């Protein structure tokens, strides 16, 4: 009986040493190797054939893929035909746009600008040059296109977000920032009458 106990204890001790789910450095062993790895290039993999070593290629310079012609200056560059920064966002503003803008703003902008746009985001707290608040007269009065261009190209300490945020989303963010500015600079008169009661209760 004693021997059986010792055997069970020993077996469980061994099993504990190599139990499932323990962290390991080595790549997993695959028991069936049949075509597990194939001679093909996947996204973000290396390809020594090309000078830059990347398997993913950019379109050939000067070419445009079908459906990707960006000739809408207002939409893609935030400018009028005369080259001035566009005053109003060239998109239809719907509730959907606003919610999309809110979501994208919270993902990409709020780390620095904070969720209310006062420029006191967590990254600023960690030592980044403070972002300006949206809630001053200068930024309240800039054209929509200015905000779009800042997101696209960066501005002073702010890097460009053209690779992280699509053009459509940048305009949605512009719309949401406008709503933020409005919300932080409103009086009771701006609130529809049937909503005022709710507001007072919440205060």
Partner 1 sequence: MAQLFPKWTNKIPVFLIAGVLATLVTVTFGFWYFGSPKYLEVGYRPKQPVPYSHKLHAGDLGMDCRYCHVGVEKSAHASVPPTSTCMNCHSQVQARSEKLLVVRESYATNKPIEWVKVHKVPDFAYFNHSVHVNAGVGCKSCHGNVAQMDERGVMQMEPLSMGWCLDCHRNPEPHLRPKSEITNMDWVAPANQKEFAAKLIAEKKIKPPVDCGACHR
Cβ atoms of 106 and 122 closer than 8 Å: no
- Residue identified by tokens 């009065």 is 141
**Residue closer to partner 1 (CB basis): 67 or 127:** 127
Backbone φ and ψ of 72, nearest 5°: -80, 95
List the one residue out of 31, 85, 118 whose CA is nearest residue 110: 118
Backbone φ and ψ of 169, nearest 5°: -65, -35
Nearest distance from residue 155's CB to partner 1, in Å?
13
Nearest distance from residue 51's CB to partner 1, in Å?
12
Nearest distance from residue 43's CB to partner 1, in Å?
4
**Residue closer to partner 1 (CB basis): 139 or 158:** 158
Nearest distance from residue 34's CB to partner 1, in Å?
8
Residues in the chain: 203
**Residue closer to partner 1 (CB basis): 21 or 62:** 21
- Residue identified by tokens 């006062």 is 118
**Residue closer to partner 1 (CB basis): 86 or 177:** 177
Nearest distance from residue 162's CB to partner 1, in Å?
11
**Residue closer to partner 1 (CB basis): 46 or 84:** 46
Query: What residues does 79 pair with on adjacent strands?
Result: 85
Between the two ends of the chain, the Cα-to-Cα distance in Å is 73
Nearest distance from residue 165's CB to partner 1, in Å?
8
Cβ atoms of 47 and 55 closer than 8 Å: yes
Instruction: State both tokens at 147.
Output: 């905000």
Give the residues lining the site for partner 1 (CB under 8 A). 15, 18, 20-25, 27-31, 35-38, 40, 42-44, 46, 54, 103, 106-108, 111, 122-123, 126-129, 157, 159, 163-164
- Give the separation between CA 112 and CA 120, rounded to whole angstroms: 6
**Residue closer to partner 1 (CB basis): 75 or 128:** 128
Q: What is the enclosing helix (H) or strand (E) of 185?
A: none
């Amino acid at each position: 009986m004693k021997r059986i106990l010792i055997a069970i204890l020993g077996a469980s001790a061994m099993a504990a040493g190599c139990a499932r789910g323990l962290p390991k450095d080595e790549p997993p062993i695959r028991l069936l190797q049949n075509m597990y790895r194939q001679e093909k290039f996947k996204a973000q993999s290396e390809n020594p054939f090309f000078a830059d070593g990347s398997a993913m290629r950019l379109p050939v310079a000067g070419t445009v893929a079908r459906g990707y012609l960006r000739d809408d200056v207002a939409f893609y560059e935030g400018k009028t035909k005369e080259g001035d920064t566009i005053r109003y966002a060239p998109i239809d503003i719907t509730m959907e746009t606003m919610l999309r803008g809110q979501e994208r703003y919270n993902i990409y902008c709020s780390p620095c600008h904070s969720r209310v746009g006062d420029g006191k985001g967590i990254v600023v707290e960690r030592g980044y040059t403070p972002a300006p608040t949206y809630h001053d007269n200068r930024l309240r009065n800039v054209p929509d296109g200015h905000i779009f261009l800042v997101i696209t190209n960066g501005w002073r300490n702010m890097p460009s977000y053209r690779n992280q945020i699509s053009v459509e989303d940048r305009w949605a963010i512009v719309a949401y920032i406008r709503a933020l500015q409005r919300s932080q600079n409103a009086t009771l008169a701006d609130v529809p009458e049937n909503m005022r009661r709710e507001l007072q209760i919440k205060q």
